[in-house]
C-alpha cells in the first residue's frame, strides 16, 4: 500500500484521513476521486476508470488495459501506472 500503481488505488489511499490530525479551517481537505462511477450496464469502451482518471489519454478511451507485472510481484491494469 505504500506505492500504489493504479490511479484508483492512489485516489483511495489519498482519501483516507490521517490519524491524529484535526481538520480545521484552512488545512488540507481529504481528497476525493472526481466524477461519477459508471453503471455496470454502461461501462466505457476502454479502461473502466478512464472517465475519472487524471492520467487518462486516448489509448485509455479506446482500449482495455491488460495485466502488467510490477517489480514487487504485483500486477496492474493501467497504461499509465507508476
pLDDT of 25 higher than 90: no
Round to whole Å and give the CA distance between 75 and 67: 6
Domain of 46 in residue numbering reads as 1-12+42-82
pLDDT of 4 higher than 60: yes
Number of domains in the chain: 1
pTM for this structure?
0.69
pLDDT of 79 higher than 90: yes
pLDDT tens-digit profile of 28-63? Answer: 666 778 888 888 898 889 999 999 998 999 999 999
Would you say residue 4 lies in a domain?
yes
pLDDT of residue 27: 58
Under the banding of pLDDT at 50, 70 and 90, the label for residue 23 is low
Beta carbons within 10 angstroms of residue 81's beta carbon: 18
Would you say residue 69 lies in a domain?
yes
∠ Cα 5 11 16 (to 5°): 120
Would you say residue 36 lies in a domain?
no
Q: Is 22 helix (H, G, I), strand (E, B) or coil?
A: coil
pLDDT of residue 6: 78
Amino acid at each position: 500500500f505504500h506505492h500504489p500503481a493504479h490511479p484508483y488505488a492512489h485516489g483511495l489511499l489519498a482519501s483516507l484521513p490521517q490519524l491524529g490530525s484535526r481538520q480545521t479551517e484552512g488545512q488540507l481537505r481529504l481528497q476525493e476521486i472526481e466524477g461519477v462511477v459508471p453503471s455496470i450496464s454502461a461501462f466505457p469502451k476502454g479502461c473502466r476508470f478512464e472517465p475519472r482518471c487524471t492520467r487518462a489519454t486516448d489509448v485509455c478511451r479506446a482500449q482495455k488495459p491488460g495485466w502488467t507485472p510490477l517489480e514487487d510481484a504485483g500486477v496492474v491494469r493501467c497504461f499509465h501506472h507508476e
